[in-house]
Each structure stands twice: as structure tokens, then as C-alpha cells.
Amino acid sequence: MTKSYLKMVMELVSLLGGAENINFVTHCATRLRIDIKDSKLVHKDKIAELESVANISETEGKYHIVTDQDKLDGVFSELEKTLEQKH
């Protein structure tokens, strides 16, 4: 993956409260879906300010992050690799 995906993923993981605060990650055609352990550690407003984030919503500890569709697969792939290394 490119450095731009890695940079975004590292920022995203940090703003989500760290890798240890993430239960699991999946995605659909338009968004990342992230299950969080402790929502109090998430900086939702700062995630919304990230360059590739179009929208973020949360329901019961599950975050949906809409990102550029052309980058979604790359971001998801890099996020999975990053979380595997941290766990």
C-alpha cells in the first residue's frame, strides 16, 4: 500500500483510541465499519476532519466511516495489516 494509506490509517487508529480499543474492522462498498471497546476514547470530531473522511457516524460503539470510494479497499487493507501487527 502507499504511504498515504499508512499515514491515514495511523492517524485513524490513534483517533479511535489505539489498536487495543478496536474489536474488529470490516467494510462495505462505501464505508469502514469499526467496532470499538470504549467510545470515550474516540475523537469523532478529529476523525471527521481527516482529508479522506466524508462522514462518520456512531451507533452503540460501532463506527461507520465514509471515505473516498477509490481509496476504501487500500485503507481497509492497510488498517487490517496495522491491527494485526498491534494485536
Domain ranges of the chain: 3-86
Mean pLDDT of 51-65: 92
What is the DSSP secondary structure assignment for residue 67, as one 8-state letter?
Answer: E
Helices 69-86, 3-15: inter-axial angle, 10-degree rounding: 60
So what's the pLDDT on residue 87?
59
Residue 13 designated active-site? no
pLDDT tens digits for range 6-52: 888 999 999 999 999 999 999 998 899 999 999 999 999 999 999 88
Query: Would you say the pTM of this structure is higher than 0.85?
Result: yes
Predicted confidence band at 2 (pLDDT cuts at 50, 70, 90)? low
Give the Cα separation of 39 and 54 in Å (integer): 20
CATH class of the domain comprising 3-86: alpha beta
- Residue 1: which pLDDT band, with cuts at 50, 70 and 90? very low
Q: Out of 28, 45, 59, 85, which one is annotated catalytic? A: 28
